[in-house]
Each structure stands twice: as structure tokens, then as C-alpha cells.
């Protein structure tokens, strides 16, 4: 009977103590969060209550088993399992605590600088994200190594593993060359301020916003809801456009091909009226000028400004659409058209002095060739 009650008492006591201590700790954190609204630290620490309770339960149960001598010396499977659970839950708890501290620091920084320097805030956000990933990876590796060392076979092989660590490192470095290059590229992006989370970029002709940056890959969220994933080494080895670097203000261009008789001065006045009614225009500057000419049309270019990439797209679309509608309604002659007039042939070497060869009926031979017998389709003789 004693052999049955003792394990029940030990397990039940560990569960009860874990629940009581866990509830008390969560209650204190909740009260602290209600009193200190200016910092999210206490609320973020509450996210670690599950690994915290696992650590408490594994530690209490492991210690109780040792003190009560419930583990037979020949069978340590339960004790080793509890040790592995304790190590894993402790690593989980450390990651949650580190994430809470880092997120709190970033929130304070972002709230202080969000309106003054948004580019700097995005840069810090990128660095914080990568730092947390590195911390998580280090804690995970240390926890896995600690778990392996709990097995006697791995402890005995520790010396040989350390001796061959140099050779294995070289082999692993050669085998994972691309992975290591992406990892170092991730650090370069994070601390070199090349691209940040939230930046508007153009990569291989695709326009989008940087949504996620890890140590190995980067995700761009395009305007049509697609997501392009590419290695971070791409941004350190190839050119790309970053529309958010420096000031977010941008200048946009709109082109029209119109007839040579188009009223350019009236188009300038209409552009001014369109921009005054467009909320996305920031009012900094605008301009309209003729930039090119072809035998059938001329090219008119409008320059407009906006505070960021999203607004410049809105301004360009509005200007292009409303200007074309205004030309179609008020000046339809200004739109491109195909000329269908008769061609004028070059003068002939023979004939009278004006370059046309005379005929008996007084009609030049060149005109008679194109205004001849319409029924036969051949020129008159």
C-alpha cells in the first residue's frame, strides 16, 4: 500500500504546488500590468506562464522522486525524462522572457520616435527581429546539447567530439556555404541599414513591401497580395530599389501622347486644377512640359509629388485618368489620330518647272495615276 500511496502523494503534491505557485505568479503579473499601463513588460511576461509551470512541475517532481527514493537504481528512464522536460521547458521560458524584455524595449523606443523618425523605427524593428531569432537559436542549441549530455554514452564521447570539432567545422562550412552566406547577409542587412521591415522596394520589376526578414530569407508582400520569398544574399549582391530609404517623399511621372495641335498651356492649367482636388498630392511641386515629338504625335510629361510611394501611385492614376477624360470632352482634336489624306509624291525630273509632268487634259500624270479608272483599278493611259 505504501508503494502505491507514496507516488500518488508525490505526483499530486507536485501538481498542486505547481498550480498554486503558477496561479499566484500570474495574479501578481496581472496586478502589475494593471498598475503600470506605460510598459507592456508584465503583460508580455504572462505569455511565459505555460513554460513556467512546466519548469515548476518538472523540478518539483524530479526533486521529490530523488528525495523519496522512488527511482530504482537500475531504471532511471523516468528521472531522465523529467530532466529532459526540465531542460526543454527552461529553454522555452528563457526565450519567452528574452522576447518580453526585447519587445518592451522596442515598444518604448517606437512610441518615442514613431512620429519623428519612422525610418529609424523600422530599422530597429528589423534588428530586434533578427536578434531574437539569434537568441532563440543559441538557447535551442545549448538546450539540445545539455539534453544530449544527460546520456552517459554522449558524455563519454565528448572528448572525441571536441577533438574532431575543427575538422567537422570545416566540412560543415564547405557543405553549408550558401546557408552561411545567407546568415552573414542577414546580419549585414540588419545592422547595415540596407533594407528594413516595412520598406517599399522594387526587386526584379516587382513592387512591394518588405514583410519579414530572417537570417536566411526575406519576404516581399507585393501590391497584388502575392508574397515573394528570396534569399537575403540577393540584397547584398544585386542592385534593387528602396523607395523608403532616406525621406519617403517621391516624385512621379505621367506621360501622354497627343496630337501636335494639343493645347499645352491649357493642359498645364488643368493639371493644376486636378492636383488641387487630389488629397494624395502633397503640394510640393508639379510641372508639365513637352519632352519628345514624333511624326504623328508629341509626348507630354507631367511631374507630380507625394509624401510616400502609396500616394504617388494614387496621384499618377488620378492625373492620367482625369486629363484623358478632359481632353476627350473639351479638346478631342488633341487626341492621337491616324491621317488618311492622299500622299504627295516627290517631284519628277522631267516635266515643266514645277516638277509635274503635263498631260493632254491638263491633269498632272502623278494625279492621274491615283485618280484613274476606279472600275479597273489600273491607272489611265
Q: Between these two residues, 241 and 331, which has the higher pLDDT value?
A: 331
Confidence bin at 174 (pLDDT 50/70/90): very low
The CA distance from 275 to 249, in Å, is 16
Among the residue ranges 55-69, 134-148, 209-223, 248-262, the one predicted with the least confidence is: 55-69
Q: Between these two residues, 69 and 238, which has the higher pLDDT value?
A: 238
Which residues does 266 contact at the CB level (< 8 Å), separation at least 6?
331
Which residues does 378 contact at the CB level (< 8 Å), separation at least 6?
372
Q: Which three cell numbers stand for residue 208?
A: 512591394
> What digits encode the pLDDT tens for the residues 305-361?
998 888 898 999 999 999 999 999 999 988 887 766 665 666 764 444 444 444 444
pLDDT surpassing 80 at residue 27: yes
Across all residues in the chain, what is the average pLDDT? 75
> What digits encode the pLDDT tens for the residues 44-80?
777 888 888 888 888 887 777 655 555 554 456 777 7
186 contacts 201 by C-beta, under 8 angstroms: no
Q: Between these two residues, 329 and 235, which has the higher pLDDT value?
A: 329
* Alpha helices, DSSP H, located in the chain: 2-35, 41-45, 49-68, 77-113, 118-149, 152-156, 158-163, 165-175, 177-192, 234-237, 264-276, 309-330, 365-370
Pairing state between β 227-231 and 250-258: unpaired
Give residue 373's pLDDT: 40
> What digits encode the pLDDT tens for the residues 353-371?
444 444 444 444 444 333 3
Model's pTM, two decimal places? 0.47
Q: Which three cell numbers stand for residue 260?
A: 501636335
**Strand partners of residue 258:** 298
User: What percent of the chain has pLDDT above 90?
Assistant: 16
Q: Which three cell numbers stand for residue 227?
A: 508574397
CA-based nearest residue to 126, from 199, 69, 175: 199
259 contacts 337 by C-beta, under 8 angstroms: yes
How many C-beta atoms lie closer than 10 Å to residue 83's C-beta?
Answer: 17
> What digits encode the pLDDT tens for the residues 148-166?
777 776 665 544 544 454 5
> What digits encode the pLDDT tens for the residues 266-297?
999 999 999 999 999 988 899 999 999 988 88
Amino acid at each position: 500500500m505504501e508503494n502505491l500511496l507514496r507516488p500518488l502523494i508525490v505526483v499530486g503534491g507536485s501538481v498542486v504546488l505547481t498550480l498554486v505557485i503558477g496561479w499566484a505568479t500570474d495574479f501578481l503579473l496581472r496586478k502589475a500590468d494593471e498598475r503600470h499601463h506605460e510598459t507592456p513588460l508584465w503583460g508580455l511576461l504572462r505569455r511565459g506562464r505555460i513554460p513556467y509551470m512546466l519548469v515548476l512541475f518538472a523540478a518539483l517532481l524530479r526533486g521529490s522522486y530523488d528525495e523519496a527514493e522512488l527511482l530504482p537504481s537500475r531504471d532511471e528512464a523516468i528521472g531522465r525524462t523529467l530532466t529532459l522536460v526540465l531542460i526543454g521547458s527552461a529553454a522555452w521560458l528563457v526565450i519567452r522572457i528574452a522576447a518580453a524584455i526585447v519587445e518592451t524595449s522596442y515598444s518604448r523606443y517606437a512610441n518615442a520616435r514613431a512620429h519623428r523618425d519612422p525610418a529609424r523605427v523600422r530599422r530597429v524593428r528589423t534588428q530586434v527581429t533578427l536578434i531574437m531569432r539569434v537568441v532563440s537559436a543559441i538557447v535551442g542549441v545549448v538546450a539540445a546539447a545539455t539534453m544530449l549530455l544527460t546520456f552517459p554514452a554522449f558524455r563519454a564521447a565528448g572528448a572525441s567530439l571536441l577533438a574532431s570539432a575543427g575538422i567537422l567545422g570545416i566540412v560543415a562550412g564547405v557543405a553549408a556555404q550558401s546557408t552561411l552566406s545567407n546568415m552573414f547577409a542577414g546580419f549585414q542587412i540588419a545592422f547595415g541599414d540596407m533594407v528594413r521591415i516595412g520598406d517599399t522596394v522594387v526587386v526584379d520589376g516587382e513592387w512591394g513591401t518588405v514583410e519579414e526578414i530572417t537570417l536566411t530569407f526575406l519576404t516581399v508582400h507585393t501590391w497584388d497580395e502575392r508574397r515573394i520569398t528570396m534569399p537575403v544574399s540577393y540584397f547584398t549582391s544585386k542592385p534593387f530599389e528602396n523607395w523608403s530609404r532616406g525621406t519617403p517623399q517621391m516624385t512621379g511621372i505621367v506621360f501622354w501622347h497627343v496630337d501636335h495641335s494639343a493645347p499645352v498651356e491649357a493642359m498645364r492649367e488643368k493639371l493644376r486644377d486636378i492636383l488641387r482636388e487630389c488629397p494624395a498630392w502633397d503640394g510640393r511641386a508639379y510641372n508639365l512640359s513637352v519632352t519628345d515629338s514624333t511624326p504623328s504625335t508629341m509626348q507630354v510629361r507631367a511631374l507630380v509629388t507625394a509624401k510616400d510611394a502609396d500616394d504617388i501611385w494614387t496621384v499618377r492614376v488620378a492625373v492620367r485618368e482625369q486629363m484623358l477624360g478632359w481632353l476627350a470632352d473639351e479638346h478631342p482634336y488633341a487626341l492621337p489620330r491616324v491621317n488618311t489624306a492622299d500622299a504627295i509624291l516627290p517631284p519628277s525630273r522631267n516635266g515643266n518647272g514645277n516638277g509635274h509632268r503635263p498631260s493632254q487634259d491638263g491633269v498632272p500624270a502623278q494625279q492621274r495615276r491615283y485618280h484613274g479608272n476606279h472600275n479597273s483599278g489600273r491607272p489611265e493611259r
